[in-house]
Amino acid sequence: MSDKLDKSKQMTSGSKVSREQKLKEMGWDVSGDIPNQSGKSRLDLPVELKNELDSLGLVARFINARTYKEVGFHKSDWKPYAFNCKGKFPNMDVDGFYTSQDLILAVKPVEYNNAHRKFLDNKNKQLAKANETAAAELRSSLKSAGIDGVVTEGYEEN
């Protein structure tokens, strides 16, 4: 145990060590998390595929392939997309689906995605307003009761 503490002290003792090196020294496998030499993430799509999706008016993101196969649908209505250029890219399977480890590329129309984001933004605003209202009511009740207290809005960090 003390060896691990000594190593962590050595790593953080002012020397310039990369995040990848720190995690490797701690025994973490970071091969899929760190961008490659070109600075791109393993989840970046080739330009040709991005252009195809843009021309069709689709927004893309990766979803868990195993969960999708088990359940049969995605809770936010993302659907896997099969490209016409089967097998042209390294991460493309024989059916034309673009995968990355246990993830599969899924799409939905831009309009539908924008409407869903707008819905989520409104929901978050309503939630924030409810928190502010509850805090204001609590402050007024404390003030009317003559209690000197502090009311904090939002959530506490535990």
Domain range summary for the chain, segments of one domain joined by +: 1-34, 47-109
Question: From residue 110, how far is each of 26, 35, 80, 83 by CA, in Å?
Answer: 42, 27, 15, 18
pTM attached to this predicted model: 0.55
Token duo for residue 76: 């936010």
pLDDT above 90 for 108: yes
pLDDT digits (tens, 9 = 90+) for 31-79: 555 444 555 677 788 888 889 899 999 999 999 988 988 888 888 889 9
3-state secondary structure of 12: coil
Backbone angles phi, psi at 157, to 5 degrees: -85, 120
pLDDT above 80 for 153: no
Backbone angles phi, psi at 128, to 5 degrees: -65, -40
Please give the helix or strand (H or E) that residue 100 lies within, else none. strand 99-100
pLDDT digits (tens, 9 = 90+) for 138-152: 888 888 888 888 877
